[in-house]
Amino acid sequence: MAFALVFPGQGSQSVGMMAAYGDSPVVRDTFDEASSALGEDLWSLLAAGPAELLAQTVNTQPLMLTAGVAVYRLWLERGGRLPAAVAGHSLGEYSALVAAGVIAFADAVPLVRVRAAAMQEAVPAGAGAMAAVLGLDDEKIVEACRQAAAAVGGSEVVEPVNFNGPGQTVVAGSKAAVERACEVARTLGAKRAVLLPVSAPFHSSLMRPAAGRLAARLAELNLQPPRLPVINNVDVAVEEDPARIREALVRQAHSPVRWVETIRRMAAMGITTVAECGPGKVLAGLTKRCADGVASVALADLASLEGALGSLE
């Protein structure tokens, strides 16, 4: 059975989320390694919270990167096989690249802190927004964004940024434009269009300044050719050249996450099961809607991880 591992990004964090994996030394060691790389105690932050602190982008990104890597290491320690491919949703792509040996974990933790700060600071607080649009096809969402931007002569940005599943797309941009796009989407037949509790318009073109800062940091790092195929967000491509991987990560910051196409690419590779590697079940829920014939599981706790050890042999 060919299977892939996918890593979650922002939105799956919660206080004490790693308690679901028991008292595992490999999990705690991974957090200790991340804390040393960052110069602060991530484990205490994770354990004590509060949730509002975990939700701050500069904290969420290092925490979710570390959580994904910790669960991957736990999977291997328990005898799990190497996957046929890996991918990650937005920030989760960095966990996938660590798993594939492209970026050293000790480099990845401070790297995503830089990424988080750059994205947070690219747009003034309160000026940007994101919204989930449900029950509307991609073409109509693009049209809703076009109409919303045209209403003010194109002076405000709103774009589709996360193609998460059929009928589930996220748009982002200037707050007023996002609100108008939600109104238009409802007139075009959307079942729901709701603002998300996020602090910046991630993956929109407003993130280009963040991409510049990220590029400068990535240029300082030594990336290696992947030991596992990594399907990237921005092109739905498997790259082997570290320079091309670096360039794709820069574009990823201001480009849409093409998750539906990523899962369909896995199906075309002969992958029959996709396992979400990390806390939560967000990606597992999306996967089953993205491609026929692809099963999904979530390694969301120790019991599910150990259960998957048998089913994925």
Per residue in 98-121, pLDDT (tens digit) is 999 999 999 999 999 999 999 999
Would you state the pLDDT for residue 12? 82
Q: Which member of 203, 204, 255, 296 is catalytic?
A: 203
pLDDT in tens, 57-97: 999 999 999 999 999 999 999 999 999 999 999 999 999 99
Cα separations in angstroms, 257 against 101, 233, 309 = 22, 5, 29
Would you state the pLDDT for residue 11? 81
Would you state the pLDDT for residue 105? 98
| Lowest-pLDDT choice from 49-53, 85-89, 249-253 | 49-53
Would you state the pLDDT for residue 10? 87
203 as an active site residue: the answer is yes
Is residue 153 pLDDT above 90, yes or no? no
Paired tokens of 154: 């194109």
Would you state the pLDDT for residue 49? 85
Would you state the pLDDT for residue 198? 84
Paired tokens of 23: 């008292």
Is residue 125 pLDDT above 90, yes or no? no
Q: Which residue has the tokens 């701050």?
A: 56
In this prediction, residues 50-59 reach a mean pLDDT of: 90
Q: Which residue has the tokens 């899962």?
A: 263
Share of the chain above pLDDT 90, in %: 88
255 as an active site residue: the answer is no
Mean pLDDT of the chain: 95
Query: Coil, strand or helix: which one is 62?
Result: helix
* Distance in angstroms (rounded) separating the CA atoms of residues 244 and 276: 26
Share of the chain above pLDDT 70, in %: 99
Would you state the pLDDT for residue 167? 93
Would you state the pLDDT for residue 243? 97
Buried b (16+ CB within 10 A) or exposed e, 71-83: bbbbbeeeebeeb
In this prediction, residues 270-276 reach a mean pLDDT of: 96
Paired tokens of 58: 């500069």
Q: Which member of 24, 90, 255, 296 is catalytic?
A: 90
pLDDT in tens, 230-239: 999 999 999 9
Would you state the pLDDT for residue 272? 95
Alpha-carbon torsion (98, 102, 105, 111), positive or negative: negative
Paired tokens of 204: 């929109």
Would you state the pLDDT for residue 154? 75
In this prediction, residues 9-18 reach a mean pLDDT of: 89
In this prediction, residues 220-228 reach a mean pLDDT of: 97
